[in-house]
Amino acid sequence: MTVCGLIFFAVNAGVLAPAESYSLRWDPKKGDASEFTFGMETPGAEPKYVVSARLRQVVDSVTGEGYRTKTTNLGTDIRMGADEMRDARKTETTVDFDARGMVKGFVGLRDSEARDAWSLGRVRSFVAPEKPVAVGGGWQVVYPERGKIPGVRLSYTLRSVTDGRATVEMVVAGNDRERPEMGRGTWIIDAKTGQWIAMDATIRGLINDGKTTVALNLRR
């Protein structure tokens, strides 16, 4: 068989068929609501700080440029060392996102009031690629500095898609050479709807003195 014949045979047999690509982009509708849990702890720190929260998120509005959500606290347990408390206040946080899921701003909060919100919100908000990617493909998202809030660079790689669930690796780094890598995490995304299912990450330098390591998790 000639070379051309082999290529023709391979294409028709599916051997050289293009790999399937995934947008991983959520298409929210106004009124969409879901509940999820958020966990955070500081492994190795003394005293150890542990937060476990249950939250309800509602899509408040959708435009061609993005969407706005309102997230309400349904109950948060906080433990620092031997001390424990429960925050049952129905506090609400309103956040603007672009169409890919990148955080644009915290409504009603100045940056000076939202340092930890920005630091945590950027890594616990999944950002879809600009164009669909196949398994093995990657993309980056850069959040610039905001006053005294350091910038951050998020690098994503689609590692696999199994039973409709996409596994995406996330590498967190600073926008400067002093923080080439701050940590890593893994997202589980519904490959069809683009909505996240779970996330686990361990990152150093997000909060407090810039040296604290935090372990984060999300579950929907």
What is the per-residue pLDDT across 80-135, written as a single tens digit (0 to 9) for each? Answer: 988 999 999 999 999 999 999 999 999 987 766 677 788 889 999 999 999 999 99
* pLDDT tens figures, 155-211: 999 999 999 999 999 999 988 766 678 899 999 999 999 999 999 999 987 776 667
Classify the C-alpha dihedral 170-119-79-58 as positive or negative: negative
- pLDDT at position 70 is 97
Listed residue (207, 62, 36) closest to 121, CA to CA: 207
Residue listed under structure tokens 């490959």: 191
- pLDDT at position 2 is 57
How far is Cα 184 from Cα 201, in angstroms, rounded to an integer? 6
Burial 91-112 (b: 16+ CB within 10 A, else e): eebebbbebbbbbebbeeeeee
Phi, psi (deg, nearest 5) at residue 115: -60, -55
| Residues ≥6 apart with Cβ < 8 Å to 170 | 123, 154, 155, 156, 184, 185, 186, 187, 201
